């Protein structure tokens, strides 16, 4: 079964150091007005560790975007297209996370991702700068949507195998690699820090690199993505609308907790668990109760997560 693929790690403690590095870099050739309140939409997924009928977002993706200077709005895979379009016009970038969802037309998660990515493509075609980042399953989703070919993916024997990256000829000229610090590009090529999984997670049954080089690499990928998002000008109409949409209305659960009798640990250390159809945000003033409910659901979900880890 396909493992989750990613090149990403992060550690907020390094942020100050990285910001100092950034300041030392020359300013971009063309000065444009950047959006200093970037918001990243993250698409939720069904399946474990989500509660039955609900969905989840791993906390690590939220922190990853936050550490690079963004805030996060959850987009629920099962909400209406109208609601997705409404959120799309407020967010400045889209993150498709890793996970185990089915990538087939007709499956609600894939159809939601397909809809959002096509919105992004259309927006970019019309001169709106809108970045999309895919990690692991998210990257696979992007490959299928952009190529319009459901057979574009092939099986690879790369499970739990951090490795160096082999660059092809186009890599050097790519916007992505030429935007990363040269030391990160070199480390990716020379050290096994690219992991086909959520490298910023902590399960001990996987060999996830947590070396300083791996952490900086993940952080710089986030910096790149959020830097791109700052070029987008979508925004909420007002602060109340922003408050209503932000993921801060929810509390993440500790899903990676070691428990006796569990065969395997869960993949995700912390997870936002959304309950109910379309996982609507709780009403104003009901935040604390909803958080407690989410945490309780988390405890129940954690018990079944081990059996169902992909």
Ligand X SMILES: *[C@@H]1O[C@H](CO)[C@@H](O)[C@H](O)[C@H]1NC(C)=O
The residues binding ligand X (CB under 6 A) are: 149, 151-152
Q: CB of 146: closest distance to ligand X in angstroms?
A: 12
Closest residue by Cα to residue 184 from 194, 175, 174: 194
Spatial contact of 69 and 222, defined as CB atoms under 8 Å apart: no
Q: CB of 248: closest distance to ligand X in angstroms?
A: 41
- Return d(Cα 107, Cα 99) in angstroms, integer: 14
Considering the complex, state which of residue 94 and residue 103 has its C-beta at the smaller distance from ligand X.
Answer: 103
Question: CA 75, 214, 248: angle at the middle one, nearest 5?
Answer: 25
Q: CB of 22: closest distance to ligand X in angstroms?
A: 38
Question: Edge-to-edge, what's the strand order for the sheet holding 39-43?
Answer: 71-75, 39-43, 93-96, 132-134
Strands 270-274 and 93-96: unpaired
Other Cβ atoms less than 10 A from the Cβ of 287: the count is 15
Please tell me the number of Cα atoms within 13 Å of 54 on its side-chain side: 23
Considering the complex, state which of residue 31 and residue 151 has its C-beta at the smaller distance from ligand X.
Answer: 151
Put residue 102 in one of left, alpha, beta given phi > 0 → left and psi -120 to 50 → alpha.
beta
Q: CB of 149: closest distance to ligand X in angstroms?
A: 4
- Alpha helices, H only, 230-281: 239-245
Q: Which residue is nearest to ligand X (CB)?
A: 149
From 84, 103, 136, 221, active-site residue: 136
Considering the complex, state which of residue 126 and residue 151 has its C-beta at the smaller distance from ligand X.
Answer: 151
Considering the complex, state which of residue 22 and residue 147 has its C-beta at the smaller distance from ligand X.
Answer: 147
Q: CB of 151: closest distance to ligand X in angstroms?
A: 4
Considering the complex, state which of residue 25 and residue 148 has its C-beta at the smaller distance from ligand X.
Answer: 148
Catalytic, 136? Answer: yes
Catalytic positions are 136
């Amino acid at each position: 079964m396909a493992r989750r693929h990613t090149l990403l790690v992060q550690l907020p403690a390094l942020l100050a150091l990285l910001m100092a590095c950034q300041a030392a870099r020359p300013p971009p050739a063309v000065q444009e007005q950047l959006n200093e309140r970037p918001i990243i939409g993250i698409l939720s997924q069904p399946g474990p560790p989500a509660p039955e009928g609900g969905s989840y977002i791993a906390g690590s993706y939220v922190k990853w975007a936050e550490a690079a200077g963004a805030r996060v709005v959850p987009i629920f895979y099962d909400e209406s297209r109208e609601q997705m379009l409404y959120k799309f016009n407020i967010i400045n970038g889209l993150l498709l996370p890793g996970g185990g969802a089915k990538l087939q037309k007709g499956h609600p998660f894939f159809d939601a991702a397909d809809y959002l990515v096509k919105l992004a493509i259309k927006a970019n075609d019309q001169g709106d700068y809108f970045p999309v980042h895919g990690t692991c399953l998210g990257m696979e989703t992007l490959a299928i949507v952009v190529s319009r070919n459901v057979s574009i993916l092939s099986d690879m024997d790369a499970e739990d195998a951090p490795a160096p990256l082999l660059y092809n000829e186009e890599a050097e000229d790519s916007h992505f690699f030429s935007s990363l610090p040269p030391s990160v590009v070199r480390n990716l090529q020379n050290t096994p820090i690219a992991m086909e999984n959520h490298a910023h997670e902590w399960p001990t049954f996987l060999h996830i690199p947590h070396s300083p080089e791996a952490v900086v690499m993940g952080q710089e990928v986030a910096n790149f993505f959020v830097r791109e998002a700052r070029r987008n000008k979508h925004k909420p109409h007002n602060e109340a609308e922003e408050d209503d949409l932000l993921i801060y209305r929810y509390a993440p659960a500790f899903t990676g907790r070691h428990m006796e009798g569990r065969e395997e640990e869960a993949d995700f250390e912390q997870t936002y668990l959304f309950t109910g159809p379309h996982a609507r945000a709780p009403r104003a003033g009901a935040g604390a109760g909803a958080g407690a409910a989410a945490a309780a659901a988390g405890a129940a979900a954690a018990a079944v997560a081990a059996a169902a880890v992909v």
